[in-house]
Structure 1
Amino acid sequence: MTLRAKTLAAAAGLAAFSLAALPALAQDTIKIGNIVVTTGFLKGPGEPAVHAFDIAVEEINAAGGINGKPIEIVRFDTGSDAKQAAVGVRTLVQDENVLAILGPFSSGETRVALTMADRFGVLMIPTAASAPDLVAESKWGWRLTEDESKQFSRLLTAMKDAGLPMETAEIVYVSDEVVSAGAGTQLYPALMEKAGIKVGEPIPVQYKSFDMSGQAAKIMQSNPDLVAVAGLPDSASKVIKELRRQGYEGRIIGSQIFADPLIVELFGPEGNGTMVVAGFWKGRTEQSAAFDAKLLERLEANGIHKLGAHHSDAQAYDGVYLLKQVMEAAGVTGDPAKVEEERAAILAAMDGVTFDGIVGDDVCFDAKHDAELPGYVIEIKDGAWTKFAEAPADACE
Structure 2
Amino acid sequence: MRRTAMKVRSILAAAAILLAAGTAYAQETIKIGNIVVTAGPLKGPGEPTLTAIDIAVEEINAAGGINGKPIEIVRFDTGSDPKQASVGTRKLAQDDGVLAIAGPFSSGESAVALNDAERLKVLMMPTSASAPGLTDGRTYGWRLTEDETKQFGRLLKSIKANGIKADTAEIVYISEEVVSNAAGTKLYPALLAEAGIKHGNPIAVQYKSFDMSAQAAQIMQANPDLVAIAALPESASKVIKELRRQGFQGRIIGSQIFADPNVAELFGPEGDGTLLVAGFWKGRTEASQSFNDKFVEETGKRGIHKLGAHHSDAQAYDTIYLLKQVMEQAGVTGDPAKLAEEREAIVAGMEGVRFSGILGDDICFAGHDAELPGYIIEIKGGEWTKFDEAPADKCD
Length-normalised TM-score, structure 1: 0.94
Deviations 1:294-321 (A, max 9, x none): 0000011111101100000000000000
Partner amino acid, structure 1, of 2:192: M
Shift, 1:37, TM fit: 0.4
Which residue of 1 is the match for residue 244 of structure 2? 244
Q: Distance in 2 between matches of 1:79 and 1:137?
A: 28
Deviations 1:44-73 (A, max 9, x none): 000110100000000000000000000000
Partner amino acid, structure 1, of 2:299: L
Which residue of 2 is the match for residue 118 of structure 1? 118
Q: Higher helix proportion, which one?
A: 2
* Alignment pair present for 1:268 and 2:237: no
Which residue of 2 is the match for residue 308 of structure 1? 308
Extract structure 1 runs of 4+ deviating beyond 4 A. none
Shift, 1:383, TM fit: 1.4
Q: Distance in 2 between matches of 1:302 and 1:99?
A: 28
Which residue of 2 is the match for residue 383 of structure 1? 382
Q: Sequence identity, in percent?
A: 73
Whichever of the two has the greater Rg, that structure is 2
Partner amino acid, structure 1, of 2:290: A
> Is the partner of 1:32 in helix, strand or coil?
strand
* Alignment pair present for 1:51 and 2:51: yes
Q: Distance in 2 between matches of 1:140 and 1:224?
A: 44
Q: Distance in 2 between matches of 1:157 and 1:196?
A: 11
Q: Distance in 2 between matches of 1:194 and 1:94?
A: 46
Which residue of 1 is the match for residue 161 of structure 2? 161
Partner amino acid, structure 2, of 1:340: A
Shift, 1:25, TM fit: 2.0
Which residue of 2 is the match for residue 18 of structure 1? none
Which residue of 2 is the match for residue 370 of structure 1? 369
Q: Distance in 2 between matches of 1:249 and 1:120?
A: 52
Q: Distance in 2 between matches of 1:139 and 1:87?
A: 20
Partner amino acid, structure 1, of 2:62: A
Shift, 1:124, TM fit: 0.5
The 1:24–1:384 alpha-carbon spacing in structure 2 relative to 1, beyond 3 Å, is: farther
> Is the partner of 1:25 in helix, strand or coil?
helix
Partner amino acid, structure 1, of 2:358: I
Partner amino acid, structure 2, of 1:58: E
Shift, 1:178, TM fit: 1.4
Contact (CA 8 Å) 1:278, 1:375: kept in 2 or not? yes
Which residue of 1 is the match for residue 128 of structure 2? 128
Q: After the TM superposition, which residues 87-98 of structure 1 pair with which residues of structure 2 at under 5 Å, given as runs?
A: 87-98=87-98
Shift, 1:284, TM fit: 0.2
Q: Distance in 2 between matches of 1:163 and 1:175?
A: 32
Contact (CA 8 Å) 1:24, 1:72: kept in 2 or not? no
Shift, 1:26, TM fit: 1.2
Q: Distance in 2 between matches of 1:222 and 1:106?
A: 33
> Is the partner of 2:34 in helix, strand or coil?
strand
Deviations 1:65-86 (A, max 9, x none): 0000000000000000011111
Q: Distance in 2 between matches of 1:389 and 1:146?
A: 17
Deviations 1:194-242 (A, max 9, x none): 1101010000011111111000000000110000000000000000000
Q: Distance in 1 between matches of 2:135 and 2:292?
A: 28
Shift, 1:24, TM fit: 8.1
Long gaps (5+) in structure 2: 1-21
Which residue of 2 is the match for residue 14 of structure 1? none
RMSD of Structure 2 on Structure 1 (CA): 1.0
Deviations 1:59-117 (A, max 9, x none): 00000000000000000000000111111110001101100000000000000001100
Q: After the TM superposition, which residues 1-397 of structure 1 pair with which residues of structure 2 at under 5 Å, given as runs?
A: 25-367=25-367, 369-397=368-396
Q: Distance in 2 between matches of 1:72 and 1:351?
A: 25
Deviations 1:159-215 (A, max 9, x none): 000011111000000111111111100100000001101010000011111111000
Shift, 1:23, TM fit: 10
Q: Distance in 2 between matches of 1:320 and 1:342?
A: 17
Length-normalised TM-score, structure 2: 0.94
Shift, 1:136, TM fit: 1.2
Contact (CA 8 Å) 1:23, 1:72: kept in 2 or not? no
Q: Distance in 2 between matches of 1:102 and 1:349?
A: 16
Long gaps (5+) in structure 1: 1-21
Q: Distance in 2 between matches of 1:241 and 1:310?
A: 22
Q: Distance in 1 between matches of 2:216 and 2:130?
A: 28
Q: Distance in 1 between matches of 2:85 and 2:165?
A: 42
Which residue of 2 is the match for residue 11 of structure 1? none
Which residue of 2 is the match for residue 7 of structure 1? none
